[in-house]
């Protein structure tokens, strides 16, 4: 791609090397890495940067289980292992905290077969979770990590402490990423990608603005799916679907060094200032994607039973939004079939915050070189089949 100059945000005709549609965690990483590569970037966000699925507060960075190892798990492992250095660079550049901590994860063992499975997974972790200068542990324990963390009732057969998992504050992370963008990135809030003309190498925004771009990257979360459906004349569900998640933030006054706890779909994530984020639901049938309801009340009650120090902690905020789940669940990264200048990077679902930097790296390598090394299950062709 050749570099081209950019114009004033007031202009109705812009040009850039990379147009990024979507100002969430993936889109911000694409913009950051493209600028670091010396490219001019226009970043479109239909609402405001960091809203939607990237505007929550859960921030659990949990690895896939180590057994049945495959390229997807290896990709996520490498992303989680390298994320601390990426976060440290952003924090050093901006002077902003991302709220990152490699806190580890506790997995209470509720049934006898869970304990047997945990033993098998320990051997798999020893085989696959090896990252210089040290590996990551999978340790089986018979006692709670701390008083009530988790409750004795939740762990009749012990628990696992694994040290690869981490947490990050999504809102601080997004704000720091945005602050890290320099003058070669033009960010346009309140403006979405409306149409794409591949033959002319240009995009038209919801404001009627024309943008000539060397490459366009669609990183608009679940909104990417209906856009692709219109472009390729297929139903949105051929590409993926939105999944609603609900979470709550509690003023629990707990130690921020505690590991996060996960059991049966319930996350309890300690954050700075004694706060605890709990979640989350995975709803495919919903009326209002951005309202919370009784399902979140159930999650809060289950989280308090799982971790008694949360009992009585006031709820500071409730949150709901939509996460992008690609048609075959794995992230969808690469060129859109039949469009040589349009790429997509979306569908991370529950693991986006841990792998966004490497999703962005992969899509930019494809934009520049035509391909990159990544799991075959991430490729657009894998999700869609032959078109």
pLDDT tens-digit map of 280-313: 899 999 999 999 999 999 999 999 999 999 999 9
pLDDT attached to residue 133: 60
- What average pLDDT is seen over the chain? 94
Name the fold adopted by 99-165+241-326: D-Amino Acid Oxidase; Chain A, domain 2 (3.30.9)
What stretches of 193-247 show up as alpha helix (H) in DSSP? 224-232
Instruction: Identify whether 373 is preceded by a cis peptide bond (ω within 30 of 0).
Output: no
pLDDT attached to residue 387: 44
pLDDT band for position 11 (cuts 50, 70, 90): confident
Give all strands of the β-sheet with 105-108 in edge-to-edge order. 138-141, 159-162, 105-108, 260-263, 266-270, 275-279, 240-251, 315-326
Asked whether 66 and 127 are in contact (CB, 8 A), the reply is yes
pLDDT band for position 200 (cuts 50, 70, 90): confident
pLDDT band for position 198 (cuts 50, 70, 90): confident
Ranges 80-84, 88-92, 96-100, 128-132: which has the least confidence: 128-132
Mapping DSSP onto H, E and C, the string for 65-128 reads CCCCCCHHHHHHHHHHHHHHHHHHHHHHHHCCCCCCECCCEEEECCCHHHHHHHHHHHHHHHHH
Asked whether 4 and 16 are in contact (CB, 8 A), the reply is yes
pLDDT band for position 135 (cuts 50, 70, 90): confident
pLDDT attached to residue 132: 60
Cα–Cα dist 242/226, whole Å: 10
Q: Which CATH class is domain 13-54+172-239+327-384?
A: alpha beta
Mean pLDDT of 113-137: 86
Instruction: Give percent of the chain above pLDDT 70.
Output: 96
pLDDT attached to residue 134: 63
Cα–Cα dist 322/189, whole Å: 19
Cα–Cα dist 385/107, whole Å: 37
Q: Specify the higher pLDDT residue, 8 or 382.
A: 382
pLDDT in tens, 142-190: 999 999 999 999 999 999 999 999 999 999 999 999 999 999 999 999 9
pLDDT in tens, 41-93: 999 999 999 988 999 999 999 999 999 999 999 999 999 999 999 999 999 99
Q: Specify the higher pLDDT residue, 339 or 1.
A: 339
pLDDT attached to residue 283: 96
pLDDT in tens, 352-374: 999 999 999 999 999 999 999 99
Work out the number of other CB atoms within 10 angstroms of the CB of residue 92.
10
Q: Where are the domains of the chain?
A: 13-54+172-239+327-384, 99-165+241-326
In the predicted structure, residue 10 carries a pLDDT above the cut 90: no
The vertex-278 CA angle with 321 and 357, nearest 5°, equals 60
Cα–Cα dist 262/278, whole Å: 10
């Amino acid at each position: 791609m050749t570099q081209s100059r950019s114009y004033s945000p007031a202009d109705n005709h812009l040009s850039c090397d990379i147009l990024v549609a979507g100002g969430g965690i993936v889109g911000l990483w694409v913009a950051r890495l493209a600028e670091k590569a010396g490219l001019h970037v226009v970043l479109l966000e239909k609402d405001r940067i960091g809203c939607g699925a990237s505007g929550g507060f859960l921030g659990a960075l949990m690895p896939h289980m180590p057994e049945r190892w495959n390229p997807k798990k290896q990709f996520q492992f490498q992303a989680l292992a390298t994320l601390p250095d990426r976060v440290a660079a952003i924090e050093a550049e901006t002077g902003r905290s991302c709220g990152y901590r490699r806190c580890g994860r506790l997995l209470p063992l509720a049934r006898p077969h869970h304990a047997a499975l945990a033993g098998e997974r320990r051997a798999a972790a020893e085989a696959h979770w090896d990252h210089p200068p040290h590996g990551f542990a999978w340790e089986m324990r018979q006692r709670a990590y701390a008083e009530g963390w988790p409750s004795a009732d939740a762990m009749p057969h012990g628990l696992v402490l694994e040290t690869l998992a981490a947490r990050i504050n999504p809102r601080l992370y997004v704000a720091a990423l945005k602050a890290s963008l320099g003058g070669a990135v033009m960010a346009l809030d309140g403006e979405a990608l409306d149409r794409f003309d591949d033959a002319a190498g240009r995009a038209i925004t919801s404001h009627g603005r024309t943008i000539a771009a060397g490459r366009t990257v669609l990183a608009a979360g679940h909104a990417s799916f209906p856009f692709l459906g219109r472009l390729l004349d297929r139903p949105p569900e051929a590409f993926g679907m939105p999944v609603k998640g609900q979470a709550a933030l509690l003023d629990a006054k707990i130690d921020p060094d505690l590991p996060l706890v996960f059991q049966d779909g319930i996350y309890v994530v300690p954050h700075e200032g004694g706060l605890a984020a709990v979640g989350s639901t995975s709803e495919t049938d919903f009326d209002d994607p951005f309202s919370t309801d009784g399902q979140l009340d159930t999650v809060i009650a289950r989280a308090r039973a799982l971790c008694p120090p949360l009992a009585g902690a006031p709820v500071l905020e409730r949150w709901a939004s939509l996460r992008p789940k690609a048609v075959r669940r794995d992230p969808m990264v690469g060129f859109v079939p039949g469009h040589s200048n349009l790429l997509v990077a979306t569908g991370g679902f529950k693991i986006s915050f841990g792998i966004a930097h490497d999703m962005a790296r992969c899509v930019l390598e494809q934009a520049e070189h035509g391909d990159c090394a990544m799991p075959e299950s991430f490729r657009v062709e894998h999700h869609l089949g032959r078109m």
